[in-house]
Amino acid sequence: MKKTVCVAVTGGAGQISYGLLFRIAAGEMLGTNQPIILHLLEIPSMMDALTGVRMELEDCAFPLVHDIVCTDSPQVAFRDCEYALLVGARPRGKGMERKDLLQANASIFSAHGKAMNEVAARNIRVLVVGNPANTNALIAQQSAPDIDPGAFTAMMRLDHNRALAQIAQHAQVPLTAIQRVSIWGNHSATQYPSISHALVGGTAASEVVDISWYRNEMIPTVQQRGAAIIQARGASSAASAANAAIDHMRDWVMGTPEGDWTSMGIPSNGSYGVREGVICSYPVHCADGRYTIVPDLDIDEFSRNKIDLSVQELFEERAAVESLL
């Protein structure tokens, strides 16, 4: 067994956390040899519900869970944490403009960033799930100047997995036959799911996948999948989001498979023409607990336009919360 680590999860009593916590506790995220202490954060009005979640976690008798801390204080929640999954966010209320939503969340993620800066482990890894995830991650990062800026990431893995699933269905191949799909940009309807470098059974996807299906069906399907799930289920995609959060963290820590990569929202650094200052999705390799942007990919004109459009949106979101940076 490894040394016990603290894992913070915000929005602990929400639907995504309900699909997430039990899988983290079972060892799916950090491995079955990694004991954990769960730090669950909620707003005061949700503390009773959070107690219920804690009782259920206890009732699973998970051998890996050494303690569960429930709190409404970010300073308690993030203390000594090496992993933080920022799931809780303010949903869009009636009559709220996009700018209102960005700012309401900015104040939450600013507070969380400051608390992490004060009390979190210096090697913390942060995944922002709560939307608008990329800009929330940026706010948290900018509020934590004493933590490695690269520690702040946003979840693009649900989009990545959705793209894999669409291609597998279209090409009628097992999921494991598909490699090197990339999601670029913002976790929003402007995101760009790219198959430019993808392989299907080792063959270039462009030779296997119908290009008009890709452009006219697959891209919008992936972009709008969340709405389609709400339409069918009558509730948002909680369990698949939770699954993507586990995949994101696990691959970051344990590495991506040989010959493949994944997509993560990470600080832009000028690579592929995305200037510094936003949390942008790139294709990344993970190894030795670190991510690196996949280098030297050719970007065709179609891709260039799609990436630029989504990055432009990221900078617009940044501008809307600039006063808090």
Q: Is 254 in the site for its own copies (CB under 8 A)?
A: no
* 324: exposed, middle or buried (Cβ count in 10 Å: 0-12, 13-18, 19+): middle
Give yes or no: 66 in active site. Answer: no
Selected catalytic residue, list 187, 197, 248, 285:
187
Q: What is the CA radius of gyration of the chain?
A: 19
Residue identified by tokens 């799909």 is: 181
What is the dihedral sign for C-alpha 75, 48, 39, 20?
negative
- Provide, rounded to whole angstroms, the least separation between the CB of residue 157 and its own copies: 9
Q: Is 248 in the site for its own copies (CB under 8 A)?
A: no
Q: Is 305 in the site for its own copies (CB under 8 A)?
A: no
The 10 Å Cβ neighbour count of residue 120 is 28
State the binding string over 123-162 for its own copies (x if CB under 8 A, else -): -----------------------------------x--xx
Among 6, 7, 10, 18, binds its own copies (CB under 8 A): 18
Q: Is 30 in the site for its own copies (CB under 8 A)?
A: no
| Residues 32, 2 contacting (CB under 8 angstroms) | no
| Residues 70, 44 contacting (CB under 8 angstroms) | no
Peptide linkage before 132 cis (omega within 30 of 0): yes
Among 26, 69, 76, 324, binds its own copies (CB under 8 A): 26
Residues sharing a CB contact under 8 Å with residue 196, sequence separation 6 or more, in sequence order: 182, 206, 297, 298, 299, 300, 303
Q: Is 19 in the site for its own copies (CB under 8 A)?
A: yes
**Beta-bridge partner residues of 8:** 39, 84
Stretch that binds its own copies, among 23-31, 96-104, 121-129, 295-303 (CB under 8 A): 23-31
Q: Is 4 in the site for its own copies (CB under 8 A)?
A: no
- Provide, rounded to whole angstroms, the least separation between the CB of residue 96 and its own copies: 25
Q: Is 300 in the site for its own copies (CB under 8 A)?
A: no
Alpha-carbon span 171 to 169, nearest angstrom = 6
Q: Is 259 in the site for its own copies (CB under 8 A)?
A: no
Residues in contact with its own copies, counted by CB under 8 A, come to a total of 48
Among 22, 104, 111, 150, binds its own copies (CB under 8 A): 22
The tokens for 116 are 């992490």
By CB under 8 A, what part of segment 54-93 binds its own copies? 55-63, 66
Strands lying side by side in the sheet with 279-287: 65-71, 36-41, 5-10, 81-86, 125-128, 152-154, 262-267, 279-287, 290-293
By CB under 8 A, what part of segment 200-239 binds its own copies? 225, 228-229, 231-235, 237-239
Stretch that binds its own copies, among 22-30, 204-212, 288-296, 301-309 (CB under 8 A): 22-30
What's the 3-state SS for 152-209?
EEECCHHHHHHHHHHHHHHHCCCHHHEECCEEEECCCCCCEEECCCCEECCEEHHHHC
By CB under 8 A, what part of segment 181-200 binds its own copies? none
Among 38, 147, 199, 242, binds its own copies (CB under 8 A): 242
Catalytic positions are 187
Query: Which residues of the chain form contacts with its own copies (CB under 8 A)?
Result: 13, 18-19, 21-23, 26, 28, 48-49, 51-53, 55-63, 66, 158, 161-162, 164-165, 168-169, 174-176, 225, 228-229, 231-235, 237-240, 242-244
